[in-house]
Structure 1
């Protein structure tokens, strides 16, 4: 499958080089625009097309010379693109939290796992206080907490000396989103209906 993708990519590169070459030969500037800003602009785009044409020709040559390297890079690019596309967002997190909370409500209090309940209460408290935030880093996303709400205008929220350090920021991470799932909430609420304290 990856070999087919590499071959399709090679064909597209060849086609793009041919198209750019034809476009450069067909487009000519009328005499009335010579010496104007339009001519400067046209030269800029022409040089840009030449650069891209050369880049595509070099890419085609590299793919033909070393197909293993091209296959490796194609695999890396496809993997990163797939991971980036499947990174969960804050709506997914809230949706998971609501679904699990609704399922936990249906379970008897004696059967509920205290760790799962405690984690869900912490998340609900953070949302009620407005100090939970979302950060997307491409292939991975984080839900983290802060001391104060974003709309709070106290001195503690404004002073740069009172802001958390990077090492302290790691302890504020509530959940990590990767490969289409929020992992902390998944792990902590998998056995929400199993109470280890009851015998």
Structure 2
């Protein structure tokens, strides 16, 4: 593990990087430092089309994937902002189905075991009241995945339905993605069956 001095040195380096203009290009290792991740992780994101937009100049006859990569600071800033979240629940929503079944979040629960709602959003109107009730032992906090929370009994229909609707939107997205993949397979198979035009 890095020492405190090493982490502070890296934080100062990130601060220097953040002062660069949007058009300034930085190498992969500096981009990774700015984003607080390893260059290897940044490369994995690039391979999965999940990372920031990058610059990869290629020559006409170059082959292979080991060409140097750089990133414009403006693109790094945009991507970092798009990854910002106020809670793990927000990240779970962005991750789709996997996030809904694997991310664990705190939920308020009454003493009968009914879910009151997510406990992470401190800007929610009832949060101070529920926090005080948790200190007094009137409510408790349970750590659940969003999917597991939805499967529990809630003490009110409106917040339960609101969260259920968000989950149904995720499921719709997964359904449409699966159907689109099936259609792409069918189209590819039809195209493979068609005889190619005979050359004159």
Report the TM-score range of the alignment, normalised by the length of the smaller protein. under 0.3
Which one has the bigger helix percentage? 1
